[in-house]
Structure 1
Amino acid sequence: MNTPKFLNLTVFLFILSFFLGCTLKDHVQPVSIPIGGLASLTGNWSSLGLTTKAAMEIAEEDINAYFSGKHSPYRVSVQAFDTRLEADKAVDSFTSAAGTGTRFFIGPQSSAELATILPLTAGRTALVISQGSTAGSLAIADDPVFRFCPADKIEGAAIAKTIYGLGIRGLVTLARNDAGNVGLQNATGNSFASAGGETQALTPYGTAVSDFSTQLADLKARILALTTTHGAGKVGVYLASFDECVSLFTQAASDPVLRSVRWFGGDGVALSAALLADADAADFAIATQFMAPTFGLPDAYKTSWEPLMVRIKAKTGIDADAFGIAVYDAMWVIAKTIEAGHGVPADLTTLASLFTTQANAYTGATGSTQLDSFGDRASGSFDYFGLEKVGSVYQWKLAGKSE
């Protein structure tokens, strides 16, 4: 039987259009969507800054492979800016990148930096997703700022419960004078008092302070007074700080009273590389059984976060914590937002709403990224880390977990 000529032509045209379509699709230039990273790469708390940069780069690779596999026209492109944990540098980096069209930012990692950027976000129609800010004062509904870590009220309640559970009944608290650390000092002290303990809060020290003799003298006097009231072994010190704790510990190391009580810290110093690098400070931390919480990584998702930790350490030489792993999850929520929106919506309200929907539906390496009414992570557990010396090497070790 002869096939009609018009049918042969139809089949030929169909096949031709199919191959031409594939060829054109494969050669369409993808749309690159920039994502800015605001991280302390060379300044205070650089351990998180460096793992943030690495997590963003790893996520960029994985997300672009995902988009490519789905023949998506979108790609992401990351660029990290060194803020040195300084608010003015964070503002300059944000303003510069947003001015050239960046709509998504990971970071900044401190609450002080975030507070300075917040007023600028609406005018730039950009979303800011912080991996490290915890200050309760920045829990604001309907703003374009999201936080992928638990706020200070959650961390403060957890560490206060742990301290009280260890038999401490008198607690002296001290903090670096920035929104995040002061928030932790207040949340921890208030929760400890609510549990039945006695809290004495010292005035926060300035961000440029390097001589802590005044603070240490005050601490010593409070420790002696609380020991008289509650007895030996029942007094502790809570310090909410960043890497300046190294100087404070070094200056405290020779005082037997300061060495006689247990010390606890906030998330800004947990897994600090700077503390490991100073023998005097590290020895003081070991002598006082210093312990600090960091946003915990759930065992249920170990198969997801453990390989990421290996990849991040290969890039940085630093063990990432959950704050760093949360960066990877935030990148994927951005990717899901781009995918669901068929690009980036021009309207900030629509963009924020779409991001919230994707975050509430996503489960990543840190578990569910569901947000509360303020756009902050709705829940979280904590891992406690202390220091140990193995041979001549200081290292962080897991000391416990919050319930």
Structure 2
Amino acid sequence: MALTTKTIAVIAVILLVVGFAAGWFLRTPAPEVAPQSEVVFGALLSLTGSASSMGESGEAALELAVEDVNKHLLSIGSKTRIRVIVEDTKTDPAVALEKLQSLAGKGIKVVIGPQSSAEVETVKAYADENGILLVSPSSVAPSLAIPGDNVFRLCPDATHQAEAVARLMWEDGVRVVIPLWRGDVWGDDLAKATKDSFEELGGTVVDGVRYSPTTEDFSTELESLNSKVSQAIAQYGDVDSVGVYLLAFGEVVPIFLQAQNYTSISTVKWYGNSAVALDKELISNPPAAQFAIRTGFPNPTYAVGKTEKYGLVEEQIRKKIGRPPDNYALAAYDALWVATLSYLATGGTNDSDALKKALPQTAGSYFGATGWTALNEAGDRKFGDYDFWAVREDNGTFLWERVARFQVDSGLPGRRI
């Protein structure tokens, strides 16, 4: 659903009347009842592994959020201060579970992350059973949209992302798609959702190639993909009507380095996903970046309005990491604010049930760097459009450039604007 400027303004005024800020924070938190002098949150981030680009920007965002939240607490006369213990999951679900168990041993009840859906899927049962709230800034697998569990996600699930990619393919003249995807809950969910959306438009999705997340040599997968693309071109008689849909993390770089050795897959359009959009490794590798440019390769990512607050936060994160952050980093920033304000709203309790009740209420009344953080019945972000980013070259430097936006309207088909 796309909110008009007028609608947002009306909502903001209403929230101000009831005591909430439409900008940085709640102005009047609930009175603290014997609060802890230091509140410790956990964070499960992919600092290494195939999602390390997202992990780096997420860590920088949380560092900034800690600074800003503590400044706010000082300004309102609170004695409470917050701290975040960051654990590296290595983008590995098994490691994520070990790290969550370690955080639980420290008495931590609210954790920002994990960042990937495969990690969320693996740790979810432990979090539910042990009263730990997970606030992921970037997990999007639709199958994890489960009402009543302990997982909250400050981004929409990928249902509309799939619709956006399918629509862009169709409007580009693509009528046959061959997917190449990461074999985990995220890849499987998105591959299915995009197939359904593309077929609803009248397109054809050929049985593609699924690979293990631990794959390093993609020669077998690319050989199979190249064969399928060749067959599709021969059958439909038009290179421009055939496209490849890639669902990958950081392995996009070795895939592109190896893909350039195959004729057919080097001549058709490629389409990407939210995990690759704004990835630093891709634009740091000239041959891989050139392949991305040659094949088009637009990648959708959750879009936010460019408000003054967004600009301030984005600029500070950019300074920390030396590049534009993805919007999931800003969602991580907002996640820590929502977690802190939920703690204050409960009067300073560490009770999981109270925090679980307060968190969606707080999110529904908070306007942060990513805008209104209202959640739906499954605990996922209720609203969200999508920007498409593609690699471009400027005087020998590779960079990401926004090339399209897909607007989601409530009850109506999404549209490219």
User: Which structure 2 residues correspond to residues 215-230 of structure 1 after superposition, within 5 A?
Assistant: 215-227=221-233, 228-229=235-236
Q: Which residue is equivalent to 1:57?
A: 63
Residue 372 in structure 1 maps to residue 379 in structure 2: no
Q: Which residue is equivalent to 1:243?
A: 250
Deviation at 1:30, TM superposition (A): 6.2
Deviation at 1:307, TM superposition (A): 1.6
Change (3 A) 1:202 1:232: closer
Q: Which residue is equivalent to 1:91?
A: 97
Q: Measure the CA separation in 1 of the matches of 2:192 and 2:402.
A: 25
SS in 2 for 1:204: strand
Q: Which residue is equivalent to 2:305?
A: 298
Deviation at 1:350, TM superposition (A): 2.5
Residue 208 in structure 1 maps to residue 222 in structure 2: no
Would you say the 8 A contact 1:177–1:204 is kept in 2? yes
Q: Which residue is equivalent to 2:331?
A: 326
Q: Tell me which of 85, 89, 96 is aligned to 1:79.
A: 85
What amino acid maps onto 1:387 in structure 2?
Answer: V
Deviations 1:154-193 (A, max 9, x none): 2111111111111111111121111112211111111111
Q: Which residue is equivalent to 1:9?
A: none
SS in 2 for 1:275: helix
Q: Which residue is equivalent to 1:109?
A: 115
CA RMSD of aligned residues (A): 1.6
Q: Tell me which of 255, 262, 268 is aligned to 1:255.
A: 262
Deviations 1:197-250 (A, max 9, x none): 111132410111122122222222222232232623111110011011111111
Change (3 A) 1:381 1:230: farther
What amino acid maps onto 1:36 in structure 2?
Answer: G
Q: Which residue is equivalent to 1:281?
A: 288
Q: Which residue is equivalent to 1:314?
A: 319
Q: Measure the CA separation in 1 of the matches of 2:337 and 2:265.
A: 45
Deviations 1:263-321 (A, max 9, x none): 0111111111111122211111111111111111223x2x1111211111211223111
Q: Measure the CA separation in 1 of the matches of 2:362 and 2:269.
A: 43
Would you say the 8 A contact 1:87–1:116 is kept in 2? yes
Q: Measure the CA separation in 2 of the matches of 1:258 and 1:232.
A: 10
Q: Measure the CA separation in 2 of the matches of 1:200 and 1:321.
A: 31
User: Which structure 2 residues correspond to residues 146-185 of structure 1 after superposition, within 5 A?
Assistant: 146-185=152-191
Q: Which residue is equivalent to 1:354?
A: 358
Structure 1: where are the runs of 5+ without partners?
A: 1-27
Larger Rg, first or second structure (1 or 2): 1
Would you say the 8 A contact 2:391–2:398 is kept in 1? yes
Would you say the 8 A contact 2:36–2:348 is kept in 1? no
Q: Measure the CA separation in 1 of the matches of 2:375 and 2:406.
A: 21
Residue 386 in structure 1 maps to residue 386 in structure 2: no
Asked which structure has the greater RCO (Cα within 8 Å, sep 6+), the reply is 2
Q: Measure the CA separation in 1 of the matches of 2:146 and 2:305.
A: 27
Deviations 1:83-115 (A, max 9, x none): 110112111111111111111111111111111
Q: Identity of counterpart residues, as a percentage?
A: 33
What amino acid maps onto 1:333 in structure 2?
Answer: V
Residue 70 in structure 1 maps to residue 76 in structure 2: yes
What number of residue pairs does the alignment pair up? 373
Would you say the 8 A contact 1:385–1:399 is kept in 2? yes
Q: Which residue is equivalent to 1:16?
A: none
Residue 40 in structure 1 maps to residue 46 in structure 2: yes
Normalized against structure 1, the TM-score is what? 0.89
Q: Measure the CA separation in 1 of the matches of 2:181 and 2:218.
A: 12
Large movers: runs of 4+ above 4 Å: none
Deviation at 1:29, TM superposition (A): 10
Q: Measure the CA separation in 2 of the matches of 1:217 and 1:130.
A: 36
Residue 396 in structure 1 maps to residue 400 in structure 2: yes
